């Protein structure tokens, strides 16, 4: 984007310490803007665009000229929760941005962990037990994917191509080639009942908060497993612990938690049936993300519709 007029200013902030990487990349990909790192801004009152990951509360209220805010991730819950987010400000998410490939790897590992009993062998090793079990065929492990967006649909398709029986669930009815799909609350029950491994790839919204809870677990077959790589608040942690303790669920692989990292005394740290990873299922690829942001800035200047615009009422 180039501008013959006054300098357009953008601000970047990423709570994971990568602000400088983003500033350099955005200065290259969206060179029409002068990108600065929060809070070292020359003229905050002139900033028109913000590219953010977990920004500090109060930051947006210092940027009166803001015309758009970009999430530096696929999720936008961290932005929509900001008390100072102006009601009419467009919020834009990243779609895939290099994450689908990583998410496929993560979920495939998780599904195979349960399909091939690696969780049990790990527990056996701690007990000094050598106990091979019969190897299942792929068609015997049915997988359910909650969320069929940019990431969930790529994951469901990849698992299907791998030969696993996959079904998916979304808010509105989706069609994926050769994959059974469900939608809405009745569809969730149907999906849970058929899923030996349930994978959550939902955004956190008022509707999805707490969806991974006792009523859902009760619908899942005895010995089923859960993989959550959406958001920690999708899960009612106490309900998962109860389902694991009763043996109704055999295990869980959790990439996201309500508190990251969880406090030292959190029961998940040492639970024999829980595999934790530190929110690494899929990381934003800077180049792909900057391309999307730059293209959207061009659209914004041209008054064209933005791609990946979040529906604020829906929450994603
Ligand atoms: P999308 O917005 O592309 O897709 C969201 C999907 O969830 C859609 O299929 C949508 O349904 C469905 N959905 C939303 N609300 C409901 C509901 N109430 N009931 C049923 N389905 C619902 O998101 P992405 O695929 O890009 O990302 C999903 C989430 O993954 C992100 O929001 C983020 O929280 C998480 N994430 C985690 C990462 C990690 O490293 N752990 C990395 C990246 C993302 P519909 O199709 O009808 O709109
Ligand atoms: C994201 C994430 O939302 O990494 O992109 O969680």
When pLDDT is averaged across residues 207-221 and rounded to a whole number, the result is: 98
In whole angstroms, what is the distance from residue 82 CA to residue 62 CA? 13
Distance of CA 289 to the CA centre of its chain: 15
**Residue-range domain boundaries for the chain:** 9-97+284-301, 99-276
What's the pLDDT score for residue 3?
Answer: 46
**CATH superfamily of this structure's domain 99-276:** NAD(P)-binding Rossmann-like Domain (3.40.50.720)
pLDDT computed for residue 4 by the predictor: 54
pLDDT single digits (tens) 128-153: 999 999 999 999 999 999 999 999 99
Q: Apex CA 308: angle with CA 280 and CA 150, to 5°? A: 50
Q: Do domains 9-97+284-301 and 99-276 have the same CATH topology?
A: yes
Catalytic site residue from 24, 67, 116, 279: 279
CA–CA separation, 12 and 38 (whole Å): 6
pLDDT, tens only, 35-76? 999 999 999 999 999 999 999 999 999 999 999 999 999 999
Question: Quick one: which H or E segment has residue 110?
Answer: helix 99-115
**pLDDT score, position 72:** 98
Which ligand 2 atom sits closest to the C-alpha of 76? Answer: 3
Inter-residue contact 105 to 80 (CB < 8 Å): no
Ligand 1 near 8 CB (within 6 A): no
279 in active site: yes
- Compute the distance from residue 74 Cα to the ligand 2 centre, in Å: 5
| Local confidence band at 5 (pLDDT 50, 70, 90 cut-offs) | low
Asked if 160 and 148 count as a contact pair (C-beta separation under 8 A), the reply is no
Q: Is the CB of 231 under 6 A from ligand 1?
A: yes
What's the distance, CA 77 to chain centroid?
10
Task: Look at the pTM and tell me if it is higher than 0.85.
Answer: yes
> What average pLDDT does the segment 77-85 reach?
97
CATH architecture of the domain with residue range 9-97+284-301: 3-Layer(aba) Sandwich (3.40)
198 C-alpha vs ligand 2 centroid, how far in Å?
19
CA 7 to ligand 1 centroid distance, Å: 36
pLDDT tens by residue, 103-133:
999 999 999 999 999 999 999 999 999 999 9
């Amino acid at each position: 984007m180039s501008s013959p007029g006054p300098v357009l200013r953008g601000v970047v902030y990423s709570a994971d310490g990568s602000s400088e990487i983003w500033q350099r990349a955005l200065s290259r990909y969206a060179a029409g803007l002068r990108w600065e790192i929060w809070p070292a801004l020359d003229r905050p009152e002139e900033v028109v665009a913000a590219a953010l990951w977990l920004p500090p509360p109060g930051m947006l209220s210092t940027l009166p000229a803001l015309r758009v805010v970009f999430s530096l991730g696929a999720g936008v819950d961290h932005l929509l929760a900001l008390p100072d987010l102006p009601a009419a400000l467009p919020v834009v998410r990243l779609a895939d941005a290099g994450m689908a490939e990583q998410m496929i790897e993560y979920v495939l590992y998780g599904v195979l962990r349960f399909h091939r009993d690696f969780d049990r062998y790990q527990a056996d090793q701690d007990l000094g037990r050598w106990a091979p079990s019969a190897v299942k065929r792929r068609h015997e492990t049915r997988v359910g994917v909650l969320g069929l967006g940019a990431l969930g649909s790529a994951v469901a398709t990849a698992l299907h191509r791998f030969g696993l029986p996959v079904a998916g669930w979304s808010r509105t009815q989706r069609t994926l080639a050769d994959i059974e799909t469900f939608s809405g609350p009745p569809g969730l029950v149907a999906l849970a009942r058929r899923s030996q491994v349930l994978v959550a790839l939902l955004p956190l919204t008022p509707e999805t908060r707490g969806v991974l809870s006792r009523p859902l677990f009760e619908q899942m077959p005895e010995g089923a497993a859960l993989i959550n790589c959406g958001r920690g608040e999708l899960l009612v942690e106490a309900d998962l612990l109860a389902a694991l303790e009763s043996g109704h669920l055999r295990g869980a692989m959790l990439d996201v938690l309500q508190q990251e990292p969880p406090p030292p005394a959190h029961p998940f740290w040492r639970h024999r049936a829980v595999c934790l990873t530190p929110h690494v299922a899929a990381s934003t690829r800077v180049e792909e993300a900057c391309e999307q942001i730059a293209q959207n800035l061009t659209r914004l200047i041209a008054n064209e519709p933005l791609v990946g615009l979040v529906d604020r009422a829906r929450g994603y």
